[in-house]
Amino acid sequence: MNVEVRRALVSVYDKEGLVEFCSALVANGVEIVSSGGTARFLTQAGLPVTSVESVTGAAEMLGGRVKTLHPNIHGGILANRADEIHLADLAARQIEPFDLVVCNLYPFRQTVAVPGVTVAEAIEQIDIGGPTMVRAAAKNHAWVGIVTSPGQYGEVAAAVGAEGLSDELRTRLAREAFFHTASYDAGIVNWFARDEQLPEHVVTPLRRRTVLRYGENPHQAGALYHQDETSSWWDGVVQHAGITLSYLNLFDAGAAWVLANDLAGEFGLPAAAIIKHANPCGAAVGADLADTYQRAYECDPRSAFGGIVALSAPVDVATLDRIVEAAQADVVIAPGYGPGVVGGLIAKRKNTRILEAPAPGMDSFELRQISGGWLGQVAHHFASGPHTWQVVTKRTPTAAERADAAFAWRVCGHVNSNAIVLAKDGTAWGIGAGQQNRVEAGEIAAAKAAGRAVGGACASDAFYPFPDGIEAAAASGATVVVQPGGAMRDADVIARADELGLAMLFTGERHFLH
């Protein structure tokens, strides 16, 4: 069944495209009923408007807090026109039904995002009449269309001018309307929790942004979602070339992009990171991007095949040449590409997804789904810095060793636990990730480093419970160890480091990552 639109209730904050839309309604014989600023706006545009006050017989009150909350309005929205009792009530009260409601809400999220906004200012942007009208129309979508976004004006105007609002269109509009009010209420709930480190209530309305090729595996469907009415760095990502992205492409690209930007921000140099299965298999910083990429790649060329390459600086031709000579990368992500670089990548690596991205934002709180529930925590970050670290051995590290330790520690914080990183001269030469014990993580890191980190640093994401981990670090050629400390046998570990001539730093901060 199509609903012919003869009467529309219009009350919006965002007036983008409203005159054009309402002009189309009037041209098709639709009566416009409106209130307050919306009525004045349409009248000034020369459109005929029936005031809400003339429908309700009551003036606005409470400084505009009460305008549309009246039986003559909501009776006209909610009436089931297949119900004789409803129709009798309308007739007895001389209420005319509405066929269309056009409403978007006060800008609550935008208001509370302004620095220094007061509680009173925020409270005044909590819309009451708007959500009530939206929900009423959405509930009665069998008879009423509900428009909540200027983006819907074109489709609805075309339907009004043709055969009316179809069942499918009204149902789709109603679903969007309920999501609109749910998202609006979520913003209010989260504002009330603005000062809570671990909020008692977390409401996160998610909107599907992109359907992906598949999920973790081809037999699993997958999509990218983002929080409604909020911005994310993913919104600014542009794919220049390559096949459609999959779930794991995005998962790994996000990890690579965060690591590359974190290293660049911490050390003030261009950074390169190569990620495979959410773990770095290479990372480096340096003044020359091409050389930096090359060192990151040489950490573990075998694992780099099919990995994600993240570069914190715009890609130039010299870096392009290194990338196309190396193993196939599934994704390259960078803040920009110089002349001819995208074309050069396409020519040599036609399936590689080439992404241009803005700097990633920093989340303050993160959620993770587990079977049967959700885990929430303050988002991962580095709370301590090298200036706060404690030298616990007899030997104090040199300036070069401190620099290597700072770099190794920063990379280690992005590696799944148990994690060991061997680094020297701004390059991670050995990365041992995701092992059930720390000794084997160290053995993997040492095997991959193959002597290239001699004289450099060994970083451990958690304390060494026994001296054997320190012995493995010394055997790999590291001369400085950086670790959180805090083990029962710290004294034994420190003593063994002294016997081996190592310098050791305690950060006082663990960086398990799962």
pLDDT at residue 69 tops 80: no
The angle subtended at Cα 436 by Cα 432 and Cα 437, nearest 5°, is 75
Question: What pLDDT digit, counting tens, does each position of 444-475 carry?
Answer: 999 999 999 999 999 999 898 989 988 999 99
Region 213-220+237-356: CATH code: 3.40.140.20
Average pLDDT, the chain: 90
pLDDT at residue 424 tops 80: yes
CATH class of domain segment(s) 7-192: alpha beta
CATH class of domain segment(s) 386-506: alpha beta
pLDDT at 161: 87
Question: What pLDDT digit, counting tens, does each position of 172-218 carry?
Answer: 999 999 999 998 888 888 888 888 888 888 888 888 988 998 898 99
pLDDT at 393: 96
Question: What pLDDT digit, counting tens, does each position of 124-160 carry?
Answer: 888 888 888 899 999 999 999 999 999 999 999 999 9
pLDDT at residue 366 tops 90: no
Range in 135-144, 266-275, 361-370, 488-497 with the lowest mean pLDDT: 361-370
Q: Which among 15, 277, 348, 380 is annotated as catalytic? A: 277
Range in 169-178, 366-375, 427-436, 481-490 with the lowest mean pLDDT: 366-375
Helical spans, DSSP H, in 425-514: 438-449, 468-475, 490-499
Q: Which among 15, 86, 139, 380 is annotated as catalytic? A: 139
Between CA 383 and CA 405 the distance in angstroms is 16
Mean pLDDT throughout 347-367?
Answer: 87
Mean pLDDT throughout 71-95?
Answer: 85
pLDDT at 94: 87
pLDDT at residue 505 tops 90: yes
Helices 153-160 and 18-27, axial angle in degrees (round to 10): 10
Domains of the chain, residue spans: 7-192, 213-220+237-356, 386-506
Q: Are 67 and 83 in contact (CB under 8 A)?
A: no
pLDDT at residue 384 tops 80: yes
Domains 213-220+237-356 and 386-506 belong to one CATH topology: yes
Strands 7-11 and 100-103, sheet pairing:
parallel
pLDDT at residue 291 tops 90: yes
pLDDT at 61: 65
Q: Is 277 one of the catalytic residues?
A: yes
Q: Is 139 one of the catalytic residues?
A: yes
